[in-house]
Amino acid sequence: MQEWSQRQNEELLEQAVDEVKTIGLLFPDVRAEHARICMAAWLGVLCTVDDLLELMSPHEVEDAIQVTIAALQGNKENNDRMFQKHCCQYLSDAAVKDFFREICTVFHGFLQENRFQRGYLKRNLQNYMEIRTRTIGIAPFFSLIRSDLSPPDYYSDNILAMQKAVNVAAGLQNDLVGLERDIDEKESMNAVLVSMGEPLGKEEAQGTKLADTIAAVCAFHNSSIAEVVQIRQRILQGAEESEIIVANSQLLFIETHFKWCTRAKRYRTQLE
């Protein structure tokens, strides 16, 4: 028992170190220790939740997410107080509130994803991307970045638009990088496979339709990147310094996220 406990502690420590290293790769411009600690914690939660949801039945997913959202919103008093007490060690009350709000948006995305997979939502790219831009889980990171620069709940129109385009680009990066694995594992939640509109057979995987769809999704990704660059240019021309810092971090994230997901193969802190 003692050996097992020691091994568990070593694995947890190794995981925590991996999470901190990953945050260093994704956000090299973020130096504030309290922000990096909370970022690493959120990354760990996001990866763990992604793994756990895959093991649950649809009804279990629905129940677990609803309970989690209620806790984050303060409707589950005991759980919420414990979690909030932990976060308030590093963040102001206002920053914690905005951080939780963004996390709830991610979890609402998981609810929609569950319903999408069960056929309650029309299976098309528009609905899929509405879900994907939430479940990619990026917004809580930028809530933490903003918390030191301006009122945490303040969002200019340009920053909102840039964040949306970043979410799209990052979600498509994950899907394009993970496409081969998704095909092998018969995983249907991928922008390319949703765009094709039908199950993919082995012969078709080598065919023209797949290549054309990949090209279209790549073009969608590239147009999102172009939008990010254009919005940043507008911000540079007239925004306050705090907004420019956030915009620069968002733009840099597009590059660092691509490098990370290419090496980690989606939602993993261990690199391959």
pLDDT tens digits, 24-75 = 999 999 989 999 999 998 998 898 899 999 999 999 999 999 998 988 887 6
Identify whether 271 is part of a domain: no
The label of the residue with tokens 């193969």 reads 265
The answer to whether residue 270 sits within a structural domain is: no
Low-confidence winner among 8-22, 106-120, 148-162 (lowest mean pLDDT): 8-22
The mean pLDDT value for 242-262 works out to 93
The token duo for 135 is: 């479940």
CB 94 within 8 A of CB 151: yes
The tens digit of pLDDT for each residue in 208-231 reads 788 999 999 999 999 999 999 999
Tokens of 252: 């840099």
Q: Is the dihedral of CA 201, 207, 208, 212 positive or negative?
A: positive
Q: Which residue has the higher pLDDT, 129 or 186?
A: 129
pLDDT surpassing 60 at residue 111: yes
Helix, strand, coil share of the chain (percent; to 5): 80, 0, 20
Q: Is residue 243 a contact partner of residue 235, using CB atoms and an 8 Å limit?
A: yes
Query: Does a structural domain hold residue 210?
Result: yes
Per the domain annotation, does 272 fall within a domain? no
Among 87-91, 186-190, 191-195, 213-217, the range scoring the smallest mean pLDDT is: 87-91
Examine residue 19 and state whether it is found in any structural domain, yes or no: yes
Domain that holds residue 190: 2-264
Q: Taking 50 as the threshold, does the pLDDT of residue 272 lie above it? A: no
CB-CB contact of 27 with 42 (8 Å) = no
Q: Which of 41, 29, 19 is nearest to 253 (CA)?
A: 29
Say if 191 falls within a structural domain: yes
What is the predicted pLDDT for the residue at 231?
97
The more confident residue out of 239 and 223 is 223
pLDDT for residue 269: 46
In a domain, 269, yes or no: no
What gap in Å lies between CA 96 and CA 257, rounded to an integer? 24
Total count of domains within the chain: 1
With beta carbons less than 8 A apart as the criterion, state whether 258 and 166 touch.
Answer: no
Which residue in 112, 122, 137 sits closest to 44, CA to CA? 137
More confident residue, 169 or 243: 169
Position 201 scores a pLDDT of: 57
What pLDDT, on the 0 to 100 scale, is given for residue 20?
86
Identify the CATH number of the domain in which residue 165 sits: 1.10.600.10
Helices marked H in 56-201:
58-72, 77-87, 93-117, 125-135, 139-147, 157-177, 179-184, 191-196
Neighbours of 30 (CB within 10 A): 18
Do the beta carbons of residue 235 and residue 11 sit within 8 Å?
A: no
| Predicted local confidence at residue 10, as pLDDT | 64
Q: Residue-wise over 32-44: b if at least 16 C-beta within 10 A, else e?
A: eebbbbbbbbbbb
DSSP state of 120: S
Q: What pLDDT sits at residue 156? A: 86
Does the structure show a pLDDT above 90 at 206?
Answer: no
Residue 15 pLDDT class (50, 70, 90 cuts) = confident
Distance CA 267, CA 14 (A): 16
